[in-house]
Structure 1
């Protein structure tokens, strides 16, 4: 049977996806950086209708103001009808996250992901209570940590990663806790076809229409590892595999090509 059936049954046969990517380019020229990311976001907005970009340009020597400007330019480029999410990968301290978060809220950003380090539970709680933009996180947390964050009202969007949280059963338990708390769950997904297929099976058990994170950067392990890889249709939707287990079969030839050791 499909894993979704074993987890309690499918609620849907396909889910909408949102495009992750828009990573920083190796350039010191901010205008070149902005232009390249905005061009990529425009293409993905047409294909998916939802995009998530990275901020934290301090990695390249720029200020948080450059992050706000990047988000503003992406918003202007894709238009008001497209959902824009922003992922900081815990780039900020609390005061900076608060300042950037206020600007993102004014831009209508759907969520502000990992604004501070994962272990800063007080920071997540304070930001969630004081900012208009929803605070998202959870990819680095286990079930007990996520339960603690939910109990404190510290997350507005819960993002467990099936590969990090302990597997499908703990992820399903986290989803039950989030549903009980009235908090939407949108799993973090990044990596191989296995991670993508497992997350799809989990998403298929959720009520409503939570979106699937779909990385658009170059990734052979995502694109080539399965015989029939998970992919989007021309409307940015992804069918949930109906075969047994995760519903995908690995390509032995691809496994050998990417093997790096025994």
Structure 2
């Protein structure tokens, strides 16, 4: 898939008047990537007179406590603002986030597969 395929799906859906609502479960890295993808979406479905929250792109994500989302970034936590929006991280290169590698190590579980062992 990736971002290019996501954009193709959005264009195809828009041409048929179908709403696309991507969703993300998992880590802060996945949420940052999802937010950047949603920021590229056209009005959903396209209209000349968009209505707030009726045509604007949205993303669904789990808001339950999640240390892989809430505790692995340096200096950032994703939060829903009073208007119901989550900001797209733009203050750093790439996805706009910095991963705290020491925090990630707390979640590492060695995995042995085909003679290889994962390490951090």
Q: Do the two structures share a fold, i.e. TM-score over 0.5?
A: yes
Residue 176 of structure 1 aligns to a residue whose secondary structure is: helix
Matched, 1:184 2:19: yes
CA distance in 2, matches of 1:220, 1:175: 31
Alpha-carbon displacement from aligned partner over 1:173-208 (angstroms, at most 9, x marks no partner): 211111122111110211111111111001111233
Aligned length: 97
> 2:39 maps to what in 1?
204
TM-score (norm 1): 0.35
Matched, 1:241 2:76: no
Q: Is the 8 A contact 2:32 2:89 kept in 1?
A: yes
Residue 24 of structure 2 aligns to a residue whose secondary structure is: coil
Q: Name structure 2 gaps, 5 residues minimum.
A: 44-55, 111-117
Matched, 1:193 2:28: yes
Give the aligned CA root-mean-square deviation in angstroms. 1.5
Q: Name structure 1 gaps, 5 residues minimum.
A: 1-165
CA distance in 2, matches of 1:251, 1:176: 36
CA distance in 2, matches of 1:176, 1:185: 10
* Correspondent of 2:2 among 128, 151, 167: 167
> 1:254 maps to what in 2?
103
Once the two structures are TM-superposed, the CA of residue 238 in structure 1 deviates from its matched residue by 0.7
Q: In the TM superposition, what are the counterparts of 1:63-142 in structure 2 within 5 Å? A: none
Residue 186 of structure 1 aligns to a residue whose secondary structure is: coil
CA distance in 2, matches of 1:234, 1:223: 19
Residue 254 of structure 1 aligns to a residue whose secondary structure is: helix
CA distance in 2, matches of 1:213, 1:221: 17
Which has the larger helix fraction?
Answer: 1
Alpha-carbon displacement from aligned partner over 1:16-61 (angstroms, at most 9, x marks no partner): xxxxxxxxxxxxxxxxxxxxxxxxxxxxxxxxxxxxxxxxxxxxxx
Alpha-carbon displacement from aligned partner over 1:135-176 (angstroms, at most 9, x marks no partner): xxxxxxxxxxxxxxxxxxxxxxxxxxxxxxx22221122111
CA distance in 1, matches of 2:29, 2:62: 14
